Amino acid sequence: MKHLIDIKDFTTEEIDDILLLAENIIEHPDDYSEVCRRKKLATLFFEPSTRTRLSFEAAMLELGGSVLGFSEAQSSSASKGESVSDTVKTVSCYADIIAMRHPKEGAPLLASQRSCVPIINAGDGGHNHPTQTLTDLLTLKRELGKLSGLTIGLCGDLKFGRTVHSLVSAMCNYEDIKLIFISPEELSLPAYVKSELAKHQNVSWRESGSMEEELPSLDAIYMTRVQRERFFNEEDYLRLKDSFILDMEKVGLMKEDAIIMHPLPRVNEISVKVDDDKRACYFRQVSNGKYVRMALIKTLLEVQ
Ligand code: CP
Q: Beginning with the edge strand found earlier in the chain, give each strand of the sheet holding 119-124 in spatial order.
A: 66-70, 40-45, 97-102, 119-124
Domains of the chain, earliest start first = 7-128+289-301 (3.40.50.1370), 130-285 (3.40.50.1370)
pLDDT value at residue 240 = 85
Output the CA 247–ligand 1 centroid distance in Å. 22
pLDDT value at residue 82 = 97
Q: Whose CA is nearest to atom 3 of ligand 1?
A: 52
Alpha carbon distance 259, 219 (integer Å): 6
Task: Judge whether 52 counts as a catalytic residue.
Answer: yes
Is 90 exceeded by the pLDDT of residue 153?
Answer: yes
Name the burial class of residue 89, with classes exposed (0-12), middle (13-18) and buried (19+) by CB atoms within 10 angstroms of its CB. Answer: middle
Phi, psi at residue 303, to the nearest 5°?
A: -100, 150
Residue of 108, 2, 94 whose CA lies nearest to 45: 108
- Does any ligand 1 atom lie closer than 6 A to the CB of residue 229? no
What would you measure as the largest C-alpha separation in the chain, in angstroms?
Answer: 54
Whether the bond into 265 is cis, omega within 30 of 0: yes
Task: Judge whether 80 counts as a catalytic residue.
Answer: yes
Residues 6+ apart with CB under 8 A from 167: 132, 133, 136, 137, 154, 222
| Amino acid at residue number 204 | S
Which of 3, 39, 40, 52 is catalytic? The answer is 52
The confidence band for 236, taking pLDDT boundaries of 50, 70 and 90, is confident
Alpha carbon distance 219, 260 (integer Å): 9
- Dihedral Cα 185, 214, 141, 19, nearest 10 deg: -10
Residues 6+ apart with CB under 8 A from 35: 63, 64, 298, 303, 304
pLDDT value at residue 231 = 83
Name the burial class of residue 81, with classes exposed (0-12), middle (13-18) and buried (19+) by CB atoms within 10 angstroms of its CB. Answer: exposed
Is 90 exceeded by the pLDDT of residue 266?
Answer: yes
Is pTM beyond 0.75? Reply is yes
- Does any ligand 1 atom lie closer than 6 A to the CB of residue 50? yes
pLDDT value at residue 269 = 96
Output the CA 106–ligand 1 centroid distance in Å. 18
Given a contact cutoff of 8 angstroms between Cβ atoms, the answer to whether 126 and 160 are in contact is yes
pLDDT value at residue 134 = 98
pLDDT value at residue 232 = 81
Q: Whose CA is nearest to atom 4 of ligand 1?
A: 51
Which of 39, 129, 159, 165 is catalytic? The answer is 129
Given a contact cutoff of 8 angstroms between Cβ atoms, the answer to whether 204 and 181 are in contact is no
3 state DSSP class of 67? strand
Is 90 exceeded by the pLDDT of residue 278?
Answer: yes
The confidence band for 255, taking pLDDT boundaries of 50, 70 and 90, is very high
Alpha carbon distance 52, 285 (integer Å): 12
Question: What mean pLDDT is predicted for residues 147-154?
Answer: 98
Q: What percent of the chain has pLDDT over 70?
A: 100
Residues in the chain: 304
Task: Judge whether 225 counts as a catalytic residue.
Answer: no
pLDDT value at residue 50 = 97
- Average pLDDT over all residues of the chain: 97
pLDDT value at residue 219 = 98
| Secondary structure (DSSP) of 4-52 | BSSGGGS-HHHHHHHHHHHHHHHH-GGGGTTTTTT-EEEEEESS--SHH
The confidence band for 301, taking pLDDT boundaries of 50, 70 and 90, is very high
Question: What mean pLDDT is predicted for residues 7-35?
Answer: 98
pLDDT in tens, 35-58: 999 999 999 999 999 999 999 999
Task: Judge whether 129 counts as a catalytic residue.
Answer: yes
- Does any ligand 1 atom lie closer than 6 A to the CB of residue 133? no
Question: What mean pLDDT is predicted for residues 163-180?
Answer: 98
pLDDT in tens, 91-142: 999 999 999 999 999 999 999 999 999 999 999 999 999 999 999 999 999 9
pLDDT in tens, 76-86: 999 999 999 99
The confidence band for 230, taking pLDDT boundaries of 50, 70 and 90, is confident
- Does any ligand 1 atom lie closer than 6 A to the CB of residue 71? no
Which of 39, 101, 142, 225 is catalytic? The answer is 101
Q: CA 14 → CA 4, 11, 18, distances in Å?
A: 11, 5, 6
pLDDT in tens, 60-73: 999 999 999 999 99
Output the CA 201–ligand 1 centroid distance in Å. 31
Q: Where are the alpha helices (DSSP H) in the chain?
A: 12-27, 51-62, 84-91, 107-114, 130-144, 162-171, 191-198, 211-214, 234-240, 248-251, 282-301
